[in-house]
A and B are shown apart, each in its own frame.
Chain A
Amino acid sequence: MIEGILIGLNTALSLQNIIIVMIGCFAGTIIGMLPGLGPMTAIALMIPITYGFDPASGLILMAGVYYGAVFGGSTSSILLNAPGVPGTVATAFDGYPMAQQGKAGKALAIAAYSSFAGGTISAIFLLIAAPSLSKISLSFRSPDYFALMMLGLTAVSAFSSKGQFLKAMMMVVLGLMLASIGQDSLSDISRFTFGNMNLSDGISFVLIVMATFAMSEALTIIFRGKDPNRAAKQISLTELGSIKVNKEETIKMAKTIPRSSILGFLIGVLPGAGATIASFLAYGMERNYVSDEEKEKFGKGSVHGLSAPETANNAACSGSFVPLLTLGIPGSGTTAVMLGALLGFGIQPGPRLYQTNPEIFWSVIMSMYIGMVVLLILNLPLIPYIARILAVPRNFLIPLILFFSITGIYLMSFNNFDIYLMIGIAVVATFLRLYEFPMPPLILAFVLGKLIEENLRRSLLISDGSFSFLWDRPLTLIILLITIGIVGWQIYRSLIRK
């Protein structure tokens, strides 16, 4: 492991990669800060730029962008009470009241220190957990992978959909349908191409991510532009106050951070749960732990209340890389985008990545950590200046996002058809967003679609066409029972609500 860490450090600490991670953090912070745009959009917008990089540098850029966007999301939560992503909603509970009291700088500093500490602790967990889990997951067979992916899709739908499980499952089906377009890998039969040659290779992953995230998010901002409820209540962006944290506040943070980190990491490892649930749970848990006097301050600018969700959401971000790096199965929308990018570089994540491409495996983990250091050293002091990006008029912002999206597709194929297809999917996704259909299940299903099919077919071939592979191995059976349990629980919940 030490050797691996050194390889990772050697790659991640080259001058070129340090500059890349700094640019990534900076760009991610700016994109993540803009209300409505989250880490997935930030990563999607970076994909075309990574075409010119080697895989390790490309992934380092994305890791920087990811952490930058998470930090940027917290900034807009604290300053505007407008969380860019669900994962930072809980940050606004105490961060925004603190900003209203003229302590925006302090709130941002607490958020940054907590994120850094949460990230550091969970990076250590990741260092320990990933190699050992990689070894265990080598014993996984096709039926287990099939069952795990079904569990991932069900869990993401159950947890990412604000109680709208049915809509999330509909998005999963839509994602699987989109993934099945193109030539069948085994029989070379064209599926759902309607005789169009442009569809014979299937729809590209970048196109789907750009359309459903970057482009449709930009269109949604314009579409709902007249809605008075969505107008952000803005505090002064020029006077954020001091970023110094006093001794009493440091002691409070020191108590909160360890427990929230452990909780966040464990929740992040679970497929589908991720940063949102981790941050809410950490907020709730912290409230139970503190004294009655402190409890009263929750929702009014409590240090514990701000530090807990911030620590947990960053810890969960690192945790969500565990299933991606060890099993090759993303547990969240963001890691699904990362998986798509990895596959684009010709790298298949999974237990063998640790052995075949150790430099990539370790440099991604190391660069995640370097990204956090960069965020703390560079972004925090610069935040009063970066925050001014929030004042950029949307008249300029939206066309620039559309331009980046279309350029990404143009660079990939130099084909008009792909641009039209992207615009079409983005329009549909904009309307789906309006009715609160969640997009992460669609992306995850699209990325996993081909893998699910491959593993299902392989399992069927091995078991001679019989579906007995679903219960032959205890591991497969247990995973499938958990999946059925989640579906059953969702049905039970909606019955109770009726």
Chain B
Amino acid sequence: MIRFEGVKKVYPGNGNTPDILALNDVNLHIRKGEFVFVLGHSGAGKSTFLKLILREEEATEGRVIVNGRDLSTIKQRDIPYLRRGLGVVFQDFRLIPTMTAYENVAFAMRVTNIPERQIKRRVPYVLNLVGLTGKAHSYPAELSGGEQQRVALARALVHSPPIIIADEPTGNIDPELSVEIMELLQAINSVGTTVVVVTHERALARHFNKRTIMIDHGEVVTDARPKRKREVTFK
């Protein structure tokens, strides 16, 4: 699903500022159906990790392979098709302010030329899934932070992508809502979708006991698999 092979990313300086090494020799493999936390402090390289997967940035060295596409050789015109295979939930939601919740979600389907009839069936279903049935015709400005996050999640889910990436999905919402959002992501993962949650909250990763990749100073410092729950046998 997602593979990093010896990936290095350097942001060049501009004469007055030195080059910035954002990621260095990153090797990892996230398989189909996995739920992975990518953990790290601010400036550790998490955003660069995400940008490389979305092909917003290109690796300076090494290869990034997403859904079978090698992003070092991908053509510019194929990038939209790469992104259609990814559902992304951003920390700042990134909803189009001039569109209603329904339109924002439907937009992700429209870009893939899905027939209107199918959109009309699928969007209300997904909005219902994230608990926003009554808010379909509200604009983002009329929704709370948690509701906006759920619209963003619905938009990421609506075209059933094989991979969902959530960037600090709980960063701008209440702790109670955070659990709700994470449970939704778990439910999505339980039907076979690969979920990658990029966060700085260690507690969140600990609470959900999933594979956790920790990045620090641009390098993967730990890649811990979930601990198996101890089996209790009754005599």
Q: Do A and B share a complex?
A: no
